């Protein structure tokens, strides 16, 4: 029997943060698959569309919704705000791909840059405490 998932000592029910992080990771994989020219079928397109909708709706910009964050250093709040806007932009881009909208040279380049920026941010914030800004409602 194959065993996958968390180690026995870390098992727990999945909360909305777990789902959001996993969906964001899935969306990045979906975008990279498209950028690498992987084929898209009917079900793949639908999965991309639905996943992007979830990520877009669940990525809450804490800067504008939680007053407590105003006490943080201003640059940190701006940084989080930009990250969330980039995530939402990627969701819009993935939805456009899934709907079959035309993707020109500049749109592809913009998607590439946005994807790289999000991936770099996630890599730089790989510690759990540094990912706290990814909290969802």
Partner 1 sequence: MQAPVSEAKILIIDDDFFVRDFFVHTVEFGTNRHVTTFESGFHAWQCIEKAPDNADVVIADANIPDISGMELLERVKKQFPRIVFIIMSSNPAFEKTAFQMGADAFLSKPFDVNDLFAIIHRFILAPPPPSAHETVPF
Interacting residues toward partner 1 by CB under 8 A:
1-8, 11-14, 16, 18-19, 22-23, 25-26, 29-30, 37-44, 46-48, 50-51, 54
Q: How far is CA 83 from CA 4, 95, 121, 135, in A?
A: 31, 18, 8, 13
Q: How far is the CB of 67 from partner 1 (least distance, A)?
A: 27
Contact 30, 65 (CB under 8 A): no
Residue 98 has phi, psi (to 5 degrees) of -65, -35
- Residue 95 CB, shortest distance to partner 1, in Å, is 13
The nearer residue to partner 1, 48 or 77, going by C-beta atoms, is 48
Which residues, in sequence order, are CB contacts of 93 under 8 Å at separation 6+?
31, 107, 110, 111, 114
* Shortest spacing between CB 29 and partner 1, in angstroms: 7
Nearest approach in angstroms of CB 130 to partner 1 is 18
Buried b (16+ CB within 10 A) or exposed e, 19-48: ebeebbebbbebbeebeeeeebeeeeeeeb
Residue 20 Cβ vs partner 1, minimum distance, rounded to whole Å: 9
Q: Between 28 and 62, whose beta carbon lies closer to partner 1?
A: 28
């Amino acid at each position: 029997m194959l065993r996958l998932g968390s180690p026995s000592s870390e098992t727990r029910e999945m909360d909305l943060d777990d789902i959001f992080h996993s969906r964001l990771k899935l969306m990045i994989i979906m975008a990279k698959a498209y950028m690498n020219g992987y084929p898209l079928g009917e079900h793949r397109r639908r999965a991309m569309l639905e996943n992007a909708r979830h990520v877009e709706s669940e990525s809450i910009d804490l800067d504008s919704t939680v007053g407590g964050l105003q006490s943080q250093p201003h640059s940190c709040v701006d940084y989080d705000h930009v990250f969330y806007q980039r995530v939402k932009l990627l969701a819009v881009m993935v939805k456009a791909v899934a709907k079959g909208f035309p993707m020109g040279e500049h749109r592809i380049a913009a998607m590439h840059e946005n994807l790289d920026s999000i991936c770099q941010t996630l890599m730089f914030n790989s510690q759990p405490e540094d990912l706290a800004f990814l909290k969802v409602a």
